[in-house]
Protein backbone atom coordinates (compact mmCIF):
# COMPACT_ATOMS: atom_id res chain seq x y z
CA UNK A 1 0.00 0.00 0.00
CA UNK A 2 2.74 2.46 1.00
CA UNK A 3 4.78 1.45 -2.03
CA UNK A 4 1.93 2.42 -4.39
CA UNK A 5 1.45 5.78 -2.68
CA UNK A 6 5.22 6.35 -2.70
CA UNK A 7 5.45 5.59 -6.47
CA UNK A 8 2.50 7.86 -7.27
CA UNK A 9 3.95 10.64 -5.17
CA UNK A 10 7.32 10.31 -6.94
CA UNK A 11 5.61 10.36 -10.36
CA UNK A 12 3.58 13.38 -9.35
CA UNK A 13 6.73 15.25 -8.28
CA UNK A 14 8.56 14.28 -11.49
CA UNK A 15 5.64 15.46 -13.65
CA UNK A 16 5.45 18.68 -11.63
CA UNK A 17 9.17 19.35 -12.19
CA UNK A 18 8.84 18.72 -15.94
CA UNK A 19 5.78 20.98 -16.14
CA UNK A 20 7.66 23.76 -14.33
CA UNK A 21 10.67 23.35 -16.62
CA UNK A 22 8.65 23.37 -19.86
CA UNK A 23 6.52 26.33 -18.77
CA UNK A 24 9.67 28.39 -18.24
CA UNK A 25 10.82 27.80 -21.82
CA UNK A 26 10.33 30.72 -24.18
CA UNK A 27 8.17 28.71 -26.60
CA UNK A 28 5.50 28.34 -23.90
CA UNK A 29 5.44 31.99 -22.86
CA UNK A 30 3.03 34.50 -24.36
CA UNK A 31 4.61 36.71 -26.98
CA UNK A 32 2.05 39.48 -26.46
CA UNK A 33 3.41 42.55 -24.72
CA UNK A 34 0.90 45.05 -23.35
CA UNK A 35 1.79 48.53 -22.12
CA UNK A 36 0.11 51.87 -21.58
CA UNK A 37 -1.71 52.73 -24.79
CA UNK A 38 -0.61 49.80 -26.96
CA UNK A 39 -0.05 46.10 -27.30
CA UNK A 40 2.18 44.18 -29.67
CA UNK A 41 2.97 40.58 -30.49
CA UNK A 42 6.73 40.25 -30.13
CA UNK A 43 8.16 38.28 -33.07
CA UNK A 44 10.01 35.03 -32.53
CA UNK A 45 13.67 35.65 -31.82
CA UNK A 46 13.01 38.92 -29.93
CA UNK A 47 12.48 39.46 -26.22
CA UNK A 48 11.34 42.34 -24.00
CA UNK A 49 14.32 43.56 -21.99
CA UNK A 50 13.54 44.86 -18.52
CA UNK A 51 17.20 45.92 -18.24
CA UNK A 52 16.80 48.70 -20.83
CA UNK A 53 13.10 49.53 -20.36
CA UNK A 54 12.09 52.32 -18.00
CA UNK A 55 9.44 54.79 -16.90
CA UNK A 56 10.34 58.48 -16.64
CA UNK A 57 8.24 60.94 -14.62
CA UNK A 58 8.43 64.58 -15.70
CA UNK A 59 9.00 67.14 -12.95
CA UNK A 60 6.07 69.46 -12.18
CA UNK A 61 3.78 67.43 -14.44
CA UNK A 62 1.60 64.36 -14.43
CA UNK A 63 3.25 63.29 -17.66
CA UNK A 64 5.07 59.95 -17.70
CA UNK A 65 7.14 58.55 -20.54
CA UNK A 66 7.30 54.78 -20.95
CA UNK A 67 10.18 53.22 -22.84
CA UNK A 68 9.97 49.54 -23.72
CA UNK A 69 13.02 47.95 -25.34
CA UNK A 70 13.09 44.66 -27.21
CA UNK A 71 16.34 42.89 -28.13
CA UNK A 72 17.22 39.74 -30.05
CA UNK A 73 17.21 36.63 -27.88
CA UNK A 74 20.68 36.00 -26.49
CA UNK A 75 21.65 39.69 -26.31
CA UNK A 76 19.78 40.59 -23.10
CA UNK A 77 22.96 40.79 -21.00
CA UNK A 78 25.01 42.94 -23.37
CA UNK A 79 25.69 46.59 -22.70
CA UNK A 80 23.46 48.94 -24.69
CA UNK A 81 26.26 50.09 -27.00
CA UNK A 82 27.12 46.46 -27.81
CA UNK A 83 23.64 45.42 -28.97
CA UNK A 84 23.46 44.32 -32.60
CA UNK A 85 19.86 45.50 -32.84
CA UNK A 86 17.03 46.84 -30.71
CA UNK A 87 13.42 47.90 -31.05
CA UNK A 88 12.20 50.66 -28.75
CA UNK A 89 8.67 51.89 -28.16
CA UNK A 90 8.33 55.26 -26.48
CA UNK A 91 4.83 56.20 -25.37
CA UNK A 92 3.45 59.14 -23.46
CA UNK A 93 0.26 61.10 -22.91
CA UNK A 94 0.78 64.64 -24.22
CA UNK A 95 -0.27 67.50 -21.96
CA UNK A 96 -1.87 69.43 -24.81
CA UNK A 97 -2.99 68.82 -28.36
CA UNK A 98 -0.23 68.38 -30.89
CA UNK A 99 -0.28 67.60 -34.59
CA UNK A 100 2.46 65.55 -36.17
CA UNK A 101 2.28 67.57 -39.39
CA UNK A 102 3.29 70.69 -37.44
CA UNK A 103 6.13 69.00 -35.56
CA UNK A 104 7.55 66.95 -38.46
CA UNK A 105 9.91 69.58 -39.95
CA UNK A 106 11.41 70.17 -36.49
CA UNK A 107 11.96 66.44 -35.95
CA UNK A 108 13.80 66.09 -39.27
CA UNK A 109 15.86 69.21 -38.52
CA UNK A 110 16.82 67.86 -35.07
CA UNK A 111 17.99 64.56 -36.58
CA UNK A 112 20.14 66.42 -39.12
CA UNK A 113 21.57 68.77 -36.46
CA UNK A 114 22.61 65.73 -34.44
CA UNK A 115 24.89 64.79 -37.33
CA UNK A 116 22.74 62.07 -38.85
CA UNK A 117 22.30 61.57 -42.57
CA UNK A 118 18.60 61.33 -43.44
CA UNK A 119 18.30 58.64 -46.12
CA UNK A 120 14.53 58.64 -46.64
CA UNK A 121 11.26 59.72 -45.02
CA UNK A 122 7.55 59.28 -45.64
CA UNK A 123 4.13 58.26 -44.34
CA UNK A 124 2.60 54.86 -43.65
CA UNK A 125 -0.42 53.52 -41.75
CA UNK A 126 0.22 51.64 -38.54
CA UNK A 127 -2.93 50.16 -37.00
CA UNK A 128 -5.18 52.52 -39.01
CA UNK A 129 -3.26 55.61 -37.81
CA UNK A 130 -1.18 57.77 -40.14
CA UNK A 131 2.46 57.55 -39.12
CA UNK A 132 5.42 59.57 -40.29
CA UNK A 133 8.71 57.74 -40.61
CA UNK A 134 12.34 58.67 -41.11
CA UNK A 135 15.30 56.45 -42.02
CA UNK A 136 18.72 57.80 -41.07
CA UNK A 137 22.36 56.80 -40.62
CA UNK A 138 24.71 57.71 -37.79
CA UNK A 139 28.12 57.51 -39.48
CA UNK A 140 30.12 57.94 -36.26
CA UNK A 141 28.43 55.06 -34.42
CA UNK A 142 27.78 53.10 -37.65
CA UNK A 143 24.09 52.67 -36.79
CA UNK A 144 21.06 52.65 -39.09
CA UNK A 145 17.74 53.73 -37.55
CA UNK A 146 14.11 53.80 -38.67
CA UNK A 147 11.71 55.80 -36.51
CA UNK A 148 7.92 55.90 -36.79
CA UNK A 149 5.97 58.70 -35.09
CA UNK A 150 2.27 58.50 -34.24
CA UNK A 151 -0.01 60.94 -32.39
CA UNK A 152 -3.57 59.75 -31.75
CA UNK A 153 -6.81 61.70 -31.35
CA UNK A 154 -6.59 61.44 -27.56
CA UNK A 155 -3.07 62.95 -27.52
CA UNK A 156 -1.09 59.75 -27.08
CA UNK A 157 2.38 59.94 -28.61
CA UNK A 158 4.20 56.83 -29.84
CA UNK A 159 7.63 56.44 -31.35
CA UNK A 160 8.69 53.05 -32.72
CA UNK A 161 12.42 52.89 -33.28
CA UNK A 162 14.47 50.17 -34.94
CA UNK A 163 18.24 50.63 -34.53
CA UNK A 164 20.96 48.27 -35.61
CA UNK A 165 24.60 48.17 -36.56
CA UNK A 166 24.71 49.07 -40.24
CA UNK A 167 26.20 45.67 -41.14
CA UNK A 168 23.34 43.83 -39.35
CA UNK A 169 20.42 45.89 -40.70
CA UNK A 170 19.07 43.24 -43.10
CA UNK A 171 19.54 40.43 -40.55
CA UNK A 172 16.99 41.85 -38.09
CA UNK A 173 14.73 43.88 -40.41
CA UNK A 174 12.15 41.11 -40.88
CA UNK A 175 11.63 40.86 -37.11
CA UNK A 176 11.04 44.61 -36.90
CA UNK A 177 8.55 44.55 -39.79
CA UNK A 178 6.57 41.84 -37.98
CA UNK A 179 6.73 43.90 -34.80
CA UNK A 180 5.48 47.03 -36.59
CA UNK A 181 2.68 45.14 -38.35
CA UNK A 182 1.46 43.66 -35.02
CA UNK A 183 1.51 47.00 -33.18
CA UNK A 184 -2.00 47.87 -31.96
CA UNK A 185 -3.01 51.12 -30.30
CA UNK A 186 -5.38 50.73 -27.37
CA UNK A 187 -7.61 53.63 -26.42
CA UNK A 188 -7.01 54.87 -22.90
CA UNK A 189 -8.19 58.04 -21.21
CA UNK A 190 -4.92 58.55 -19.30
State pLDDT tens for residues 91-107: 988 888 889 899 999 99
Give the pLDDT confidence of 21-34 residue by residue, as tens digits. 665 555 555 689 98
Sequence ranges of the domains in the chain? 1-29, 31-185
Give the pLDDT confidence of 130-184 residue by residue, as tens digits. 999 999 999 888 999 999 999 998 888 999 999 999 899 999 999 999 999 999 9
Q: Which pLDDT value is given to residue 94?
A: 85
DSSP string across 41-101:
EPPTTEEEEEEEEEEEEPTTSS-EEEEEEEEETT-TTS-GGG-SEEEEEEEEE-SS---HH
Q: Return the H-helix or E-strand segment holding 29.
A: none
Arithmetic mean of pLDDT, 40-45: 92
Stated pTM of the model: 0.78
CATH number for the segment(s) 31-185: 3.40.1000.10
Amino acid sequence: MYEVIKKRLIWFIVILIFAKYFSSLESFQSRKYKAKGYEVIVPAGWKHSKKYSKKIKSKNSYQETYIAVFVPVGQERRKEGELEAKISVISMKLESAMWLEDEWPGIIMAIRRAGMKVIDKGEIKIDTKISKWVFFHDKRAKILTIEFYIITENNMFFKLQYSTQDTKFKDYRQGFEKFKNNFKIIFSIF
